[in-house]
Chain A
Amino acid sequence: MSGESSGGSETSPEMRNISDSNSTANDDVLLSVRDLKTHYEERSLFGGDPVRAVDGVSFDVRRGETLGLVGESGCGKTTLGRTLVRLEEATDGNIVIDGDDITTLSGDALQRWRRDAQIVFQDPESSLNDRLTVGEIIREPLNVHNWKTPAERRQRVRNLLERVGLREEHYYRYPHQFSGGQRQRVGIARALAVEPDFVVLDEPVSALDVSVQAQILNLLMDLQEELDLTYLFIAHDLSVVRHICDRVAVMYLGKIMEFGPTEQLFQKPENPYTRSLLSAVPTPDPTVERDRTTLRGTPPSPRDPPNGCVFSTRCPAKIRPDGFEELSEHDWDAIEVFREVLRERSRTDPSLSERARELLGLETRLPDVEEAAGELFASRSFPSDVQEPIQQSIEAANDGNEEHAREIITAALGSVCDREAPSLLATGRTDSGRSSRCHRHKEEYADPDASGSDSPQS
């Protein structure tokens, strides 16, 4: 699926160096993202932690490929896509195309990038202006970029309408006269109007019914082949991603957890998160024996990501510290849930009325953690090196010091997953282009039970 398309902009020699210094950079690469961060409310009036929507992401987009970006809601995939087309300002890092760093573009160069890179939005109900006719909507980018003459623009819109499976006479209709699928076709035509090289498809089919979804996916694949487009395909639907993408990046809490060619990644996921995500997808086959790892809880807040691995609060393959191997899965799970409870509690800000009640001695801010602990640990007996820190932690939490309570447990029962953020390591065969972010890929932590793991184990 590779094609040649003109990069679009002039290359300045010193910028060329940036991309050349990356070992992966070659003629195939359209776009290099390096350590990109997009944080919201960084300098907010009231202080507080910023939302780390995208938190240090690096990858290359190859010419003519479809790169998939998957993850659950809130993982930062949409923010990343929007940052690439400069709808959001990056906080840190670079996005390099033909030697230009997109994050610092301005003036004409930025204008050019905004023509070369387009985006198709998820919701065709809200991304089209209801007061413009379909023709005007598709023509708008042509007007903005001052493309040729008005007559030529009209002709181009007519051609585009036909190209995306609509009819010429739809030019004068309004979006509300169209179904969801047709509206999404309009959105695609608008994105293609100024002949971009790179299109961010932000969940383009998730608002559509499955039979209509298939039509749009086919259209996107046809257009890519015909126009040599490069796609960044953002989706939460893994089956769609598997169908349409050449390579996939799996995101969790602002970080890429796993990266690799689609088929390999789906057939043999390396990262525990990818494995859990894939096992959660329901298959349309009732006879399939489901071997599912149901993940516990929800992703933590991107304002307060875990210190170690971002996935450590839910990870089914989390490494245990030495000396606790004999604890059962259920016991260990209960401890992890208890840590989650403390975590949630330490993030609860008391409301004004709660503060007032507390001051007046009417009630304490939170009910005793003992009740939650009782529910979790009832009918479990732990050895003393587990029981003691839990007891101390409960006491600290009852004194209103959840932070300290968390520290006690992490110190006693935490492992490398809680302390160190793993880096993205190359996995699989040497030239496979796969990488995954997990401590398990290091020899000393290799998990003998990990199914499908190809990581260095011997």
Chain B
Amino acid sequence: MSRHARDDNVPLNADATSSRDLALEVENLRTVFHTEHEQIHAVDGISFNIRRGETVGLVGESGSGKSVTARSILGLIESPGEIDPASAIRFEGDNITEYTESEYESIRGDGIAMVFQDPLSTLNPVYTVGNQIKEALSLHQDLRGTAATERAIELLEEVGIPDAARRVTEYPHQFSGGMRQRAVIAMALACAPEVLICDEPTTALDVTIQAQIIDLLMDIQAERDLSILFITHDMGVIAEVADRVNVMYAGEIVESAPVEPLFAEPKHPYTRGLLRSIPSTQTSGDRLETIKGEVPTPNEPASSCRFAPRCPKSFEECSEVAPIPTAVGDDPDHDAACLLYPESMTTDEAVAHHRPADDGGEQ
């Protein structure tokens, strides 16, 4: 996180948090998709970390690069996609972007597990739920036969599925949407992971079921001291689950902060716009504030602020200088990538602060 900030802006946590407290560290991650016509910089140089037992949120609209980030962490990027070799994802001391496929297999599930948005596409329709959990158990825990069945039943009970002994013999189509997501979570837990990546785990569910799944994830986290990366587009869900939040826009993290300052004092114009366009936060019947235009496709390296064309506060330099994460506000963990900051500087000074220097940014 600190690498891109100037020395005077190094967030405190870089010193306070030794790397041993970090469950996962993502540094300057770039994932590019090469297509016939253009290169899509789906994830364009983002850095964040997850401390042990903490929930970090990754929030943004569709196309902002949230899911590609998750897939990059799990080593699931396939051609024509490619992770830039300069990127680093550190897990248990290793840079896992350098892993071979077989090395990756040893941490996928065991170390880092993932819960996807749509449980139906995660579960195989032709195997019983029990068999799918047992497969995970035999791969990762070396459990087989009756012992595996019993453990599968226990896991289903743990995720709150009643009558688990019968349910374990049923197929995914016999489960309701919420039950399926519970079963998927049970499968993820079967591998006893350190880090759980939840990619829009409640988006396909009704609110009352969403509440159940969020409660479940928080309970499991407390019991197992899990570190969770929670990806969603829903600011309400983020406010509820996350300790710290990273706001993504067009492949970049535009703002990151602990959850309370982010909602109380959003600094980046995009975050502000996003929060203001949520209906519940405004008086009913009024016109909603909107962000004009649509999310762009990041098809070239960032040489300017990608939000500038939609930004109500943009000025000339916004289309010339790519902003870097800069400390804003009172909280040392609160960064925004915007030429308006640091607030203590004049606009010219701030622009100079963000403008890339030839010496690589070190002063």
A residues near B (Cβ < 8 Å) are 72-73, 179, 181-182, 209-215, 217-218, 221, 236, 238-240, 242-244, 262-263, 276-277, 279-288, 290, 292, 294-295, 298, 337, 340-341, 344-345, 348, 366-369, 371-372, 375-376
> CB < 8 Å: which of A218, A236, A239, A372 contacts B280?
A239
Sampled A-B contacts (19; CB under 8 Å): A72-B209, A73-B206, A210-B277, A214-B279, A217-B288, A218-B287, A221-B287, A238-B207, A239-B280, A277-B208, A280-B208, A280-B210, A282-B234, A283-B280, A284-B281, A286-B239, A295-B208, A372-B163, A375-B157
> CB < 8 Å: which of B62, B208, B259 contacts A286?
B259
Residues of chain A within 8 A of B164, CB atoms compared: 372, 375
Chain A minimum-CB-distance residue to B179: A298
Interface string of B188-225 (1 = CB under 8 A from A): 00000000000000000011111110110000000000
Q: From residue B308, how far is it (CB to closest CB) to chain A in Å?
A: 16
User: Cβ of A286 and Cβ of B274 under 8 Å apart?
Assistant: no
CA distance A211 to B62 in the complex (A): 11
Chain A minimum-CB-distance residue to B243: A286
Given the known interface contacts A210-B235, A298-B176, the answer about A179 and B294 at a Cβ–Cβ threshold of 8 Å is yes
> CB < 8 Å: which of B206, B240, B289 contacts A72?
B206
User: Cβ of A366 and Cβ of B166 under 8 Å apart?
Assistant: yes
Residues of chain B within 8 A of A214, CB atoms compared: 277, 279, 288-291
Nearest first, the 6 A-B pairs at minimum CB distance are A282-B236, A239-B280, A243-B279, A214-B288, A72-B206, A214-B277
Given the known interface contacts A73-B206, A280-B210, A340-B162, the answer about A285 and B279 at a Cβ–Cβ threshold of 8 Å is no
User: Cβ of B294 and Cβ of A212 under 8 Å apart?
Assistant: yes
CA distance A284 to B59 in the complex (A): 12
Residues of chain A within 8 A of B177, CB atoms compared: 73, 298
Residues of chain B within 8 A of A372, CB atoms compared: 162-166
Among A209, A212, A218, A286, chain B packs the most CB atoms within 10 A around the CB of A286
Residues of chain A within 8 A of B215, CB atoms compared: 294
B102 at the A interface (CB under 8 A)? no
Q: Is the interface of A mostly helix, strand, loop or mixed?
A: helix
Q: From residue B327, how far is it (CB to closest CB) to chain A in Å?
A: 21
Chain A minimum-CB-distance residue to B275: A284
> CB < 8 Å: which of B242, B279, B290 contacts A240?
B279
Given the known interface contacts A210-B235, A284-B235, A290-B240, the answer about A239 and B278 at a Cβ–Cβ threshold of 8 Å is yes
CA distance A414 to B208 in the complex (A): 25
CA distance A11 to B277 in the complex (A): 44
B360 at the A interface (CB under 8 A)? no
> CB < 8 Å: which of A182, A218, A244, A281 contacts B290?
A218
Q: From residue B148, how far is it (CB to closest CB) to chain A in Å?
A: 16
Given the known interface contacts A211-B291, A239-B280, A294-B212, the answer about A283 and B207 at a Cβ–Cβ threshold of 8 Å is no
CA distance A214 to B289 in the complex (A): 7
Chain A minimum-CB-distance residue to B171: A351
> CB < 8 Å: which of B178, B279, B284 contacts A298?
B178
B260 at the A interface (CB under 8 A)? yes
CA distance A239 to B275 in the complex (A): 13
B282 at the A interface (CB under 8 A)? yes
Residues of chain A within 8 A of B282, CB atoms compared: 243
User: Cβ of B211 and Cβ of A294 under 8 Å apart?
Assistant: yes
Residues of chain B within 8 A of A236, CB atoms compared: 206-207
Chain A minimum-CB-distance residue to B273: A211
Q: From residue A202, how far is it (CB to closest CB) to chain B in Å?
A: 16
Given the known interface contacts A240-B279, A282-B236, the answer about A263 and B284 at a Cβ–Cβ threshold of 8 Å is yes
Interface string of B246-282 (1 = CB under 8 A from A): 0000000000000110011000000001110111111
Residues of chain B within 8 A of A285, CB atoms compared: 239, 263
Contacts A209-B61, A368-B165 aside, 13 further interface pairs with beta carbons under 8 A come to A72-B208, A209-B62, A211-B277, A239-B280, A243-B285, A244-B284, A283-B236, A284-B235, A284-B238, A286-B260, A290-B240, A298-B209, A375-B157
Given the known interface contacts A280-B208, A284-B239, A290-B240, the answer about A376 and B166 at a Cβ–Cβ threshold of 8 Å is no
Q: From residue B353, how far is it (CB to closest CB) to chain A in Å?
A: 28
User: Cβ of A284 and Cβ of B259 under 8 Å apart?
Assistant: no
B residues near A (Cβ < 8 Å) are 61-62, 157, 162-166, 169, 174, 176-179, 206-212, 214-215, 233-240, 242, 259-260, 263-264, 273-275, 277-282, 284-285, 287-291, 294-295
CA distance A243 to B276 in the complex (A): 13
User: Cβ of B163 and Cβ of A341 under 8 Å apart?
Assistant: yes
User: Cβ of A376 and Cβ of B284 under 8 Å apart?
Assistant: no
CA distance A239 to B259 in the complex (A): 21
Residues of chain A within 8 A of B165, CB atoms compared: 367-368, 371-372
Residues of chain B within 8 A of A366, CB atoms compared: 166
Residues of chain A within 8 A of B280, CB atoms compared: 238-239, 242-243, 281, 283-284
Given the known interface contacts A72-B206, A277-B208, A341-B162, the answer about A283 and B279 at a Cβ–Cβ threshold of 8 Å is no
Q: From residue A431, how far is it (CB to closest CB) to chain B in Å?
A: 21
Residues of chain B within 8 A of A345, CB atoms compared: 163, 166
Chain A minimum-CB-distance residue to B264: A287
CA distance A427 to B263 in the complex (A): 37
Chain B minimum-CB-distance residue to A292: B211
User: Cβ of A210 and Cβ of B61 under 8 Å apart?
Assistant: yes
Among B165, B260, B280, B282, chain A packs the most CB atoms within 10 A around the CB of B280
Residues of chain A within 8 A of B281, CB atoms compared: 284
Residues of chain A within 8 A of B236, CB atoms compared: 239, 281-284
User: Cβ of B239 and Cβ of A282 under 8 Å apart?
Assistant: yes
User: Cβ of A287 and Cβ of B260 under 8 Å apart?
Assistant: yes
Chain B minimum-CB-distance residue to A215: B290
Residues of chain B within 8 A of A348, CB atoms compared: 166, 174
Residues of chain B within 8 A of A286, CB atoms compared: 239-240, 242, 259-260, 263
CA distance A240 to B235 in the complex (A): 14
Q: From residue A99, how far is it (CB to closest CB) to chain B in Å?
A: 32
Among A209, A262, A288, chain B packs the most CB atoms within 10 A around the CB of A209
Q: From residue B239, how far is it (CB to closest CB) to chain A in Å?
A: 4
Residues of chain A within 8 A of B210, CB atoms compared: 280, 282
Among B177, B179, B211, chain A packs the most CB atoms within 10 A around the CB of B211
Given the known interface contacts A239-B278, A287-B264, A298-B179, the answer about A367 and B273 at a Cβ–Cβ threshold of 8 Å is no
> CB < 8 Å: which of A72, A221, A337, A341 contacts B207?
A72
> CB < 8 Å: which of B212, B264, B284 contacts A295?
B212
User: Cβ of B207 and Cβ of A277 under 8 Å apart?
Assistant: yes
Residues of chain B within 8 A of A240, CB atoms compared: 279
CA distance A281 to B206 in the complex (A): 10
Q: From residue B283, how far is it (CB to closest CB) to chain A in Å?
A: 9
CA distance A372 to B166 in the complex (A): 8
Residues of chain A within 8 A of B295, CB atoms compared: 209
Q: From residue B172, how far is it (CB to closest CB) to chain A in Å?
A: 15
CA distance A262 to B279 in the complex (A): 14
User: Cβ of B279 and Cβ of A239 under 8 Å apart?
Assistant: yes
User: Cβ of A213 and Cβ of B277 under 8 Å apart?
Assistant: yes
Chain B minimum-CB-distance residue to A1: B285
User: Cβ of B162 and Cβ of A337 under 8 Å apart?
Assistant: yes
Residues of chain B within 8 A of A294, CB atoms compared: 208, 211-212, 215
CA distance A221 to B235 in the complex (A): 24
